[in-house]
Amino acid sequence: MTRRHRGALQRLALLVSVLGFALLANSCADSPPAWPTAVVQPTGTSALAPVELTPEPTVDPLVPTLSPNQAATVVITETAISPDVAPTGSATPQPLPIATAVAPPAVTVEPSDLRSRLGVGVPLEVTQFTFDAEYARKLGLGWYLDWHVDSEPVKADGLEFAQMVRVRGENYFPARADIIAAIAANPGSLWLIGNEPDVRWQDNTTPSQYAARYHELYTLIKTLDPSAQVAIGAVTQVTPLRLQYIEEILAAYEALVGEPMPVDVWNIHAFILREERDSWGVSIPPGFDMDQGMLWEIEDHDDMALFQQEIVDFRRWMARNGQRDKPLIVTEYGILMPPEYGFPPEKVTEFMRATFDYLLNARDEEIGYPSDDNRLVQKLAWYSLSDTVYPTGNLLDPVTGDLTLLGEAFADYTASLGDTQ
């Protein structure tokens, strides 16, 4: 055998070893699910032909995957969080002096005028423009969130900002020092603890883990700023499975602390997505071993009857659990499905207006919030201002920052409210 032949065989052996290691590593990874090919018949006003769905798994499989030239294959950026966050501290917090600089207005969970109740989620670092006070005025926003903690949020004509601490298993983010700085700079803020802890590719936290993180963060925030309001992290949607997840959080908290979990503000998302392991949608909450929940279909995604039922079901759950006298906010909802699936801009606009009418006005004398004229919901946030992963609900073009058709409808709606109570 020549030296050239021996060298070639050595290189081949090395290549085989590397490929074998890669295959082994891949078999041990928590790979995203692949889901079967399906044909979706467009509905509503769409004149598009049926779309063939190719089984291309993505990291964030809320939506059944499109063909390779259409599919989004990146992690949703506004809510991404590293799984390797450093462990947090647990020292007893000390009260902080409140910053004397001009701070954003303290959050009012049940505002007197309807426009102040309307908000939007603002994804960061995905657009070629930066959200500022002028955009907030153009849309007539009352409040916003961006899935982060910010010591200096955008200030504009009473615009309010909801702080959010992300949780992930045994950790939370950002660092404790950053949270403390934001507390001092923004007294009276609304703090959301986590984002969709019930979803593996979001905050991915079991009920017992969430209860421990919530206790630590609630104690920190309320000790440093008793005027702050703390909200539970929102589950993606209101279903029996997600309600069970919340109930297990409450049970885990009481077992850990010895008293009921304090929640100043109840917080939910109101999507309509499939609950099935290894399928599209939101799968099964961490720590649960069943394989199915609500098996909603794509065409259910904008079903107003289902949407309204989620709100009523959660208010009924609150009443049964002695929580009727607390505010309820819906901090994320909208249309994630692309137009090709039967959700053109005109249909999305119709859904958005219908949800605004309902969420701003729905009342119930038996389960509504007594301090707010028995309204079911006190504040809401549309998804989203402008996103490149789920752009169907965009109010602004991610490149130009111009109002989309949906954004124009949003601005017209808020302008029509004026100072309506």
3-state SS string for 105-148: CCCCCCCCCCHHHEEEECCCCCCCCCCCHHHHHHHCCCEEECCC
Q: What is the pLDDT of residue 65?
A: 59
Q: How many domains does the chain have?
A: 1
Q: For the residues 223-234, what does the mean pLDDT come to? A: 98
Q: Confirm if 343 and 302 have CB atoms less than 8 A apart.
A: yes
Domain that holds residue 144: 77-417
410 within domain boundaries: yes
53 within domain boundaries: no
* Tens-digit pLDDT profile for residues 106-154: 567 777 799 999 999 999 999 999 999 999 999 999 999 999 999 999 9
Q: Is 157 exposed, middle or buried (0-12, 13-18, 19+ CB in 10 A)?
A: exposed
pTM summary value: 0.80
* Tens-digit pLDDT profile for residues 12-24: 343 333 333 333 3
85 within domain boundaries: yes
Closest CA to 317 of 243, 241, 233, 236: 243
372 within domain boundaries: yes
Query: CA-to-CA distance for 252 and 239, rounded, in angstroms?
Result: 20
Q: Confirm if 338 and 72 have CB atoms less than 8 A apart.
A: no
Residue 77 has pLDDT above 70, yes or no: no
* Tens-digit pLDDT profile for residues 23-64: 333 333 333 332 222 333 323 332 223 333 332 333 568 888
- CATH number (domain holding residue 288): 3.20.20
* Tens-digit pLDDT profile for residues 384-419: 999 999 999 999 999 999 999 999 999 999 999 987
16 within domain boundaries: no
Q: What is the pLDDT of residue 369?
A: 98
